[in-house]
Amino acid sequence: MTHKATEVTIVAEKVIQEQIVEIIERAGATGYTILEGSGKGQHARRTHERPSVAGDAFDIVKIEAILGDRAAAEQVADEVANTLFTHYSGIVYLEEVEILRRARFWR
Amino acid sequence: MTHKATEVTIVAEKVIQEQIVEIIERAGATGYTILEGSGKGQHARRTHERPSVAGDAFDIVKIEAILGDRAAAEQVADEVANTLFTHYSGIVYLEEVEILRRARFWR
Amino acid sequence: MTHKATEVTIVAEKVIQEQIVEIIERAGATGYTILEGSGKGQHARRTHERPSVAGDAFDIVKIEAILGDRAAAEQVADEVANTLFTHYSGIVYLEEVEILRRARFWR
């Protein structure tokens, strides 16, 4: 039997990884996953200190967390967008998933 | 034209990677993807032999497989949860996706 | 507030990474993410020049792009399937996601 939950995914430059993780933890997530990769285009461009050429490739992190509470996932997305993406480029998106073992995703 | 399919994702410690893959293959998946990353929190904690401090960071694997048959995807999720996550922590979740080339996802 | 968008994901051998990226960029995506991993089975097998044993493990890339326009995402999926997967094995699938900051996903 599965339960609905919300996955929040943030793709950003590695430089703001710790700040993203702090936001996720404050929202009550009991865990998160960090994958390292590369990326190109607007969503991986740091904008405030070195205005890079569009299309530069960057080392990026993809950080994922699943929250049983939809509002908590939206809080993460809003806070990342409103506090970090004002100075750094990146993307944040939500997906509905079905989890097993619901209790693991609650504080 | 797309067809509905179910993606099953397992995030766990690398130590049980092979056991997860065996379960996926037994369920009839013709392929799977393994990504290596790091993680933190309950879902990446091995619980039976070294009760770690909550919040430790671990090397983890994210294993994904797409199955045309929803029941097969649920079987993978149940078996991973019931046989592996009794001794190891981890998360497993399902997502609906739309695939091209349906035949590839059937045995 | 979130907006609906479509994520297109391609899992394939690294050898066709650049061709996949070209297709994504032509469709108007402003960014994409590349994750490197391993895989096994039909979806990671190159078929035209070295017919490999089913079950071989390969180095693969997972390439993801989010497009605000569903038709553009389908165009990417179709073009990858019809031009690359005729000679190389791989999978492509679509998922509905909810994004913040819609403008970033339009050309």
**Residue written as token pair 């050309």:** C107
- Model pLDDT, residue B1: 72
Q: How many CB atoms lie within 10 A of CB C15?
A: 13
Structure tokens at C60: 């693969």
Q: Rounded to whole angstroms, how far apart are CA atoms A82 and A67?
A: 20
Q: Rounded to whole angstroms, how far apart are CA atoms B104 and B100?
A: 9
ipTM associated with this complex: 0.83
Let me know: does A107 contact A72? Beta carbons within 8 Å: no
End-to-end CA distance of chain A: 21
**Between chains, do A32 and B42 touch, taking CB under 8 Å as contact?**
no
Let me know: does A99 contact A65? Beta carbons within 8 Å: no
Let me know: does C98 contact C1? Beta carbons within 8 Å: no
Closest-CA distance, A32 to chain B, in angstroms, reads 6
- What DSSP character marks residue A16? G
- pLDDT tens sequence across C55-64: 455 689 999 9
Q: Does A17 touch chain B (CB under 8 A)?
A: no
Three-state SS annotation for C24-47:
HHHCCCCEEEEEEEEEEEHHHCEC
Closest-CA distance, A1 to chain C, in angstroms, reads 22
**Between chains, do C31 and A38 touch, taking CB under 8 Å as contact?**
no
Residues B59-63 have a mean pLDDT of 93
**Dihedral of alpha carbons A51, A55, A59, A62, sign:** positive
- pLDDT tens sequence across C74-93: 999 999 999 999 888 889 99
Q: Does A37 touch chain C (CB under 8 A)?
A: yes
Instruction: Please provide the DSSP assignment of B29-94 as one string.
Output: -SEEEEEEEEEEEGGG-B-SSS-PPTT-EEEEEEEEEEES-HHHHHHHHHHIIIIITTTB-EEEEE
pLDDT lower than 50: segments of chain C: 43-55, 102-103, 105-107
